[in-house]
């Protein structure tokens, strides 16, 4: 969706509003994305382990693909969706972009548009040189309009093809297209509210929502999966995820309006626990979390939340047994492993430090892309006096955070102190090479 718009702004040098976005990591949400998308990913001819789903903290209704097989889903989209089927419809569409290689094939649309734009620039410069300034500006304007029009036609064709591919993936997975249509209707209603013109699709990156609904209705209603019911277990998990997300991203007063005290569903308890915790009311947050755990005492994600609130409220000794129980129930969830490791490191007790290291190492073996895990490992190595490995952990963290100079300096310090040829030495050398190349490219751009 937004992928093409963003690239379009870059191509033509247009100024766009800067928006602050952040990646939201949550063990339960990421597991949920994997489970609801697995059959769709297989239907798209892709390997589930290679497709990553990333939650973006942004209240707009959007999703996009970039960087290979990465699907980015905005928090606003999940909050707007009414059920898991609508979310699966969006995922099927985004998988269509990946399966068709639209990231790689972007140049097919950009190159012809760029040629038109360049030719118009040359013609305009010639006209200006001959003293015809107004004619030159007119040529430039027409050329830019033609280039824009050609590019938009390319993106609309991609989107139409992707809509059809998504319908095929839903059908193969035995998932109804009703959710896909319902979500397009939500988008259409939003366009009506924003007074976006519905009579000219030639100035849009996407076909008109009404056109897409009409085209897909004919496909979905004939599909054998049209009347397939929503899996109640997945819907229950969707409600939990949505409640948690509302509690985390919305203002507390909004959370309490959506999930008033009279509601005692897991979604409502999740939402209020996060809202109270973010607002600085630990007792109220702890009460909601305790009620949540009471509904399912062995649920690792409920235990994770209870342990997190205890830990962040300064009750480290109380948090550790709760988080140990969460890890026992979900031993392969790296973020829960990291949270327990963090609690153990925070305790500063030597025997608990010893317990933390293997947990954190197991966490990075499952997920190397969590900077906070590397930070905690670095603390352990530094306290032990193992400066080279503390530097290597810092290099890993800085590399993930985009701090190229920090990654380079710490990788060099790690390599200088590690035995040559060991895996850690080789890793430090790799980080140095990547960081050095990035710094060189940055210097050339300047």
Q: Which of 21-30, 89-98, 118-127, 365-374 has the lowest mean pLDDT?
A: 118-127
Residue for token pair 């027409």: 142
The pLDDT of residue 357 is 95
Least confident of 15-19, 75-79, 303-307: 15-19
Enter the pTM of the model. Answer: 0.80
pLDDT, residue 251, reads 92
Helix (H) or strand (E) holding 440: helix 423-445
For the segment 305-321, the average pLDDT, to the nearest whole number, is 96
What average pLDDT score do residues 61-69 get? 85
Residue 122 has pLDDT above 80, yes or no: no
Band of residue 408 on the pLDDT scale cut at 50, 70, 90: very high
Report the pLDDT value the prediction gives residue 197, as an integer from 0 to 100. 55
- Average pLDDT over the chain, rounded to whole? 83
pLDDT per position as a tens digit, 23-47 = 899 999 999 999 999 999 999 999 9
120 confidence band (pLDDT: 50, 70, 90): very low
Torsion on CA atoms 347, 349, 352, 353, rounded to nearest 10: 90
Core vs surface per residue 62-88: b (16+ CB within 10 A) or e: bbbbbeebbbbbbbbbbbbbebbbbbb
Residue 55 bridge partners (DSSP):
24, 73
pLDDT confidence bin for 198, thresholds 50/70/90: low
Question: Model confidence over 316-362: pLDDT tens digits?
Answer: 999 999 999 999 999 999 999 999 999 999 997 888 989 999 999 99
Residue 426 has pLDDT above 80, yes or no: yes
Sign of CA dihedral 207, 212, 214, 219: positive
Question: Do 240 and 268 contact (CB within 8 A), yes or no?
Answer: no
Instruction: Quick: pLDDT tens for 150-185.
Output: 444 445 456 768 888 999 999 999 999 999 999 888
Helices (H), ranges, 313-422 = 316-329, 334-347, 350-366, 371-384, 387-401, 404-417
pLDDT band at 281 (very low <50, low <70, confident <90, very high): very high
- Indicate the SS3 state at residue 252: helix
Q: How confident is the model at residue 196 (pLDDT cuts 50, 70, 90)?
A: low
Q: What is the pLDDT of residue 151?
A: 43
Query: Which element (helix H / strand E) includes 71?
Result: strand 70-74
Quote the percentage of the chain above a pLDDT of 90.
Answer: 65
Per domain, the residue ranges of the chain are 2-220
pLDDT value of residue 434: 93
């Amino acid at each position: 969706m937004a992928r093409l718009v963003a690239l379009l702004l870059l191509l033509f040098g247009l100024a766009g509003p800067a928006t602050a976005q952040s990646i939201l990591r949550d063990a339960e949400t990421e597991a949920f994305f994997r489970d609801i998308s697995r059959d769709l990913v297989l239907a798209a001819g892709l390997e589930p382990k290679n497709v990553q789903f990333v939650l973006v903290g942004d209240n707009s209704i959007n999703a996009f693909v970039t960087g290979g097989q990465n699907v980015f889903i905005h928090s606003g989209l999940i909050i707007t969706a009414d059920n898991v089927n609508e979310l699966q419809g969006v995922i099927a569409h985004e998988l269509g972009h990946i399966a068709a290689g639209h990231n790689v094939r972007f140049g097919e649309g950009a190159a012809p548009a760029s040629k038109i734009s360049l030719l118009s620039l040359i013609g305009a410069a010639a006209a200006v040189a001959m003293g015809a300034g107004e004619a030159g500006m007119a040529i430039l304007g027409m050329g830019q309009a033609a280039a824009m029009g050609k590019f938009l036609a390319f993106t609309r064709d991609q989107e139409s093809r992707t809509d059809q591919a998504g319908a095929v993936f839903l059908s193969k997975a035995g998932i109804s297209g009703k959710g896909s249509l319902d979500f397009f209707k939500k988008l259409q209603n939003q366009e009506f509210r924003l007074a976006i013109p519905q009579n000219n699709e030639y100035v849009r990156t996407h076909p008109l929502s009404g056109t897409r609904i009409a085209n897909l209705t004919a496909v979905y209603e004939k599909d054998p999966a049209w009347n397939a019911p929503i899996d109640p277990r997945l819907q229950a998990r969707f409600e939990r995820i949505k409640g948690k997300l509302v509690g985390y991203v919305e203002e507390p007063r909004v959370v309490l309006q959506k999930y008033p005290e009279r509601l005692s569903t897991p979604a409502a308890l999740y939402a209020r626990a996060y809202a109270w915790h973010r607002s600085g009311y630990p007792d109220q947050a702890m009460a909601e979390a305790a009620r949540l755990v009471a509904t399912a005492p062995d649920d690792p994600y409920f235990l994770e939340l209870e342990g997190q609130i205890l830990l962040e409220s300064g009750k480290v000794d109380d948090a550790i047994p709760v988080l140990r129980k969460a890890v026992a129930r979900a031993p392969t969830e790296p973020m829960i492993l990291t949270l327990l490791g963090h609690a153990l490191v925070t305790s500063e007790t030597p025997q608990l430090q010893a317990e933390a290291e293997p947990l954190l190492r197991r966490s990075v073996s499952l997920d190397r892309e969590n900077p906070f895990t590397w930070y905690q490992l670095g603390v352990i190595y530094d306290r032990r006096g193992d400066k080279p490995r503390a530097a290597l952990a810092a290099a890993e963290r800085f590399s993930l955070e985009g701090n190229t100079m920090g990654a380079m300096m710490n990788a060099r310090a790690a390599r200088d102190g590690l035995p040559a040829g060991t895996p850690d030495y080789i890793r430090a050398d790799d980080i140095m090479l990547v960081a050095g190349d990035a710094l060189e490219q940055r210097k050339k751009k300047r």
